[in-house]
Chain A
């Protein structure tokens, strides 16, 4: 495989995770899909195994490894047979917690990051709202100080109001890394003062159980069913002043930073899922498409498999090369968006072709292929849709 990026230590880690996935995840995925939830003990267990803090420093209980260790984790989790659980883990370890490590105070790191790494606290990330998905700057959830209606922090605390939707881990999370508006965007949210709407956002860490913070409902989804998805409501939810994460008014920029890591790990996961689907499909044709011991695959099917393998390899190499740049702090926004776009599309396309090759065999409810077909559809939406990736690439190409 990509031996240029993976050391013997990475490979040892890979073996260890593969064993864990085979023994402790794969046997149960059918049940978790049916229940639309995997048990939270999985977080605890993964915390014990050191898998939730692979690239965080040891002082917070992490493993102090590099970015490619995180890539190994996402590649191996993809082999558990479902997309939901790996996504939930990625949200916890690579999306909701990196901002705490990057922008948090020492106290916040001890209070949220360390227990998250141990798997004792489950994290979720709150960006999307009923009226603001791709357009992050348009979010309407507000956080204001007690005394002034919309003003800067007064030290006394914040009152949060608003709704967040499609929040992965939202049901079982112990806290949320939340994006809210701390400054008015003006009366016209529709872009008369764009800069202001970007600058008026801030990040908060809010504990589940804080009065006024409720789970409104569990969102049922086409796929990724083992991962819980919630709509969350904040109604006069009062949090202390130190709930602010990072600098006030920098929330938009902080989230844009976070999204880079999110998209890259999503790309790695999508490629790995696609690779796993291909493996299952090759195995399937090897077992089923035989006559007198000889493979009797049609040329069309064989060429489809070749095309699948080729596109997966292209997506993988784009992702690895981008991960290398990311790991070397080169902040490759354009390449990350390309990798996310291509990996997500490839995963869904591969799942679709795999279903075609499996024919009726792949269609019964709960068959891994039909499940991957449903699961991978989300790759093209979550973490920024295909269209948003194209917007970002356009911007990076300086098209206007």
Chain B
């Protein structure tokens, strides 16, 4: 059925992505989950199909088409493994947008162009969801970025034509990346241990660096064993006196926090749509199982309790989808109005350390969609009964993967905090 936000071309595009996901991703997710990462070939194929640069200008292989990128991530959510979707999303929607927004012509040539083609894999080392594990103080959900002050970030000190980086960070694609978009702190700028004023000063000291794999002192550590998102290649990256050329500074020095924040709304929207796709697949999987599984002489779908459960799941997903499309639409309007940069956020954020929370609809979409997915996935396990608990069936993976959505990039509690702030102001 046609939708107000999408053109016929978008619907065609959706079909082609769905085919790609069904043919080139879904059959292999089991293997990649086992391996703990997505093979390079997947990035290549996605790049060849143009999926990694949809929203970028034509010179970088894109069509400046944000709705198409949103469709890509919704469909990607259906691949059956959150980790696979996460790997491509971290590359295309978390790491490379910062280069597109902030990069110099040379940086775009060196990093963005090959990343869009899938020739180079990018990792977002922006403290992501692992702040506070044992690297310092605090929890990980502060400001939606896992930044509880910069205490957790690697430190960078300028020495002549280089930044010397020391520290550790956890990143999706960390295992397989060719370069990392790395948030670093200025160790002189108020290293806070959860103390408010130090934290503020610290946030003013964050910068972004582009760091090539292979730079002396840059090592990839162990992959992080996780409940879900296992194929995401999430690994610890460590830096020991790693000398990064000064020209690899991305954007303005000490404006890293604002830079990261500028992309946050887009991160939330694509995460929300990935959850919608994942939830849709969990529903279809449960529906298929319920129609085949016979108990008490009839398929489970012969029971009203099961049918209504499935119907509720479908309704929740549909609401999440429309809310996410709405947030997408607002975002696209703002970005197009600002000539390709999310100026709403940046303008509000430039002068302050704590930028005002960007339009609440993106936060709502992220909150609602990830919570719906968590609930849908849990119902899917329930409908599968004992097989829902067995590793040989896919239901458990939806359940494990969905669990991260309500935590990552701002826990649900953070989202509610942010939304409350906007509606009460």
Residues on B with C-beta less than 8 A from A302 are 416-417, 420, 424
Closest to A301 in B: B420
Measured between alpha carbons, how far is A400 from B302 in the docked complex, in Å? 5
Report the bound CA distance from A275 to B418 in whole Å. Answer: 19
Contacts of B415 in A (CB 8 A): 306
Q: Check: B4 CB closer than 8 A to any chain A CB.
A: yes
Is A309 touching B364 in the complex (CB atoms < 8 A)? yes
Listed A/B pairs (26) with beta-carbon separation below 8 Å: A5-B4, A278-B423, A297-B420, A302-B416, A305-B420, A306-B416, A306-B418, A306-B423, A307-B416, A310-B323, A310-B364, A317-B322, A317-B325, A318-B323, A320-B326, A321-B3, A330-B1, A330-B2, A334-B314, A337-B315, A389-B315, A390-B307, A391-B308, A393-B315, A399-B290, A400-B302
Query: Which A residues are CB-close (under 8 A) to B315?
Result: 337-338, 341-342, 389, 393
- Give the contacts of A302-353 with B (CB-CB under 8 A): 302-303, 305-307, 309-311, 313-315, 317-318, 320-321, 324-325, 328, 330, 332, 334-335, 337-338, 341-342
* A263-303 to B contact mask, C-beta < 8 Å, 1/0: 00000000000000010001001100000000101010011
Tell me, in angstroms, the Cα distance from A315 to B368 when the chains sit together.
11
Which residue of chain A has its CB nearest to the CB of B307? Answer: A394
Interface of A is mostly: helix
B424 touching A303, Cβ below 8 Å: no
The residue on B at minimum CB distance from A278 is B423
Question: Which B residues from 295 to 351 make CB contacts under 8 A with A?
Answer: 301-302, 306-308, 310-312, 314-316, 318-320, 322-323, 325-326, 329
Bound form: Cα–Cα A53–B321 in Å = 33
Q: Decide if B360 is an interface residue (CB 8 Å cutoff).
A: yes
Q: Closest residue to B312 on the A side, CB-wise?
A: A390
Q: Is the CB of A399 within 8 A of B291?
A: yes
CB distance from B74 to the nearest CB of A (A): 14
Q: Contacts of A286 on B, CB cut-off 8 Å? A: 424
Tell me the minimal C-beta distance from B282 to chain A in angstroms: 14
B367 contacts the other chain (CB 8 A): yes
Given A313-B326, A399-B301, also A394-B311 (CB < 8 A) = yes
In the complex the two chains form, what is the Cα distance from A373 to B326 in whole Å?
A: 28
Contact B364 A397 (CB under 8 A): no
Interface flag for A365 (CB, 8 Å)? no
Q: A302 CA to B413 CA in the complex, in Å? A: 11
Query: Is A303's CB under 8 angstroms from B416's CB?
Result: yes
**Chain B, 246-305, CB within 8 A of any chain A CB:** 287, 290-291, 301-302
Alpha-carbon gap, A317 to B322, bound state (A): 5
| Given A313-B361, A400-B302, also A282-B424 (CB < 8 A) | yes
Q: CB-CB < 8 A to B323: which residues of A? A: 310, 313-314, 317-318
Per-residue A-contact encoding for B1-34, CB less than 8 Å = 1, 0 else:
1111100000000000000000000000000000
With A303-B420, A330-B1 already in contact, the answer to whether A320 and B322 are too (CB < 8 A) is yes
Quick check: A306 and B420 within 8 Å, CB to CB? yes
Verify if B203 is at the interface (C-beta below 8 Å from A): no
Chain A contact residue count (CB 8 A cutoff)? 45
CA distance A391 to B4 in the complex (A): 27
Closest to A393 in B: B311
Does B417 contact A303, Cβ atoms closer than 8 Å?
yes
Interface residues on B, range: 35 or more
Count of inter-chain pairs, beta carbons less than 8 A = 123
Most buried by A among B3, B364, B420: B420
With beta carbons under 8 angstroms apart, the residue of A4, A328, A338, A389 that contacts B319 is A338
B424 touching A317, Cβ below 8 Å? no
CA distance A311 to B368 in the complex (A): 7
Roughly how many angstroms separate A208 CA and B5 CA in the complex, as a whole number? 47
In the assembled complex, how far is the CB of residue B24 from the closest CB belonging to chain A, in whole angstroms?
28
A 45-103 contacts with B by CB, 8 A: none
The docked-state distance in angstroms from the alpha carbon of A372 to that of B273 is 33
Nearest A residue to B369 by beta-carbon distance? Answer: A314
Contact B423 A295 (CB under 8 A): no
Is the pair A399, B322 in contact by a Cβ cutoff of 8 Å? Answer: no
- Top 6 closest pairs, chain A to chain B, by CB: A393-B311, A306-B419, A302-B420, A306-B416, A317-B322, A394-B307
**Segment 122-142 of A: residues with Cβ below 8 Å from B:** none
Docked-complex contact A321 and B4, CB < 8 angstroms: yes
Instruction: Name the contact of B424 in the complex, choosing from A305, A318, A391 (C-beta under 8 A).
Output: A305
Residues of A within 8 Å of B419, CB to CB, are: 306, 309-310
Is A235 in the interface zone, CB < 8 Å from B? no
Q: How many angstroms from the CA of A391 to the CA of B315 in the assembled complex? A: 12
In the complex, what residues of A have CB within 8 A of residue B423's CB? 278, 282, 305-306, 309
Q: A5 vs B5: C-alpha distance in the bound complex, in angstroms?
A: 11
Contacts of A307 in B (CB 8 A): 416
Which single member of A297, A321, A341 contacts B322 (CB below 8 Å)? A321
Q: Which of A2, A314, A394 has the most CB of B within 10 A?
A: A314
1/0 contact string of A1-42 vs chain B (CB within 8 Å)? 010110000000000000000000000000000000000000
Asked whether A387 is an interface residue with its Cβ less than 8 Å from the other chain, the reply is: yes
- Least CB distance from B34 to A in Å reads 33
> Which residues from A are CB-within-8-Å of B318?
318, 335, 338
Which residues on B sit within 8 Å (CB–CB) of A391?
A: 307-308, 311
> Bound state CA distance, A318 and B325, in angstroms?
10
Q: What is the chain A residue whose CB lies nearest that of B423? A: A309
Check if A400 sits within 8 Å of B424, measured CB to CB: no
Pick the contact of A318: B287, B312, B322, B416 (CB < 8 A).
Answer: B322
Query: Chain A's nearest CB lies how many Å from the CB of B1?
Result: 5
Q: Which residues of chain A are near B312, meaning CB under 8 Å?
A: 390
Q: How far is the CA of A289 from the CA of B164 in the complex (A)?
A: 50
Among A328, A335, A338, A394, the residue within 8 A (CB) of B310 is A394
Q: Within 8 Å CB of A325, what residues of B?
A: 1-3
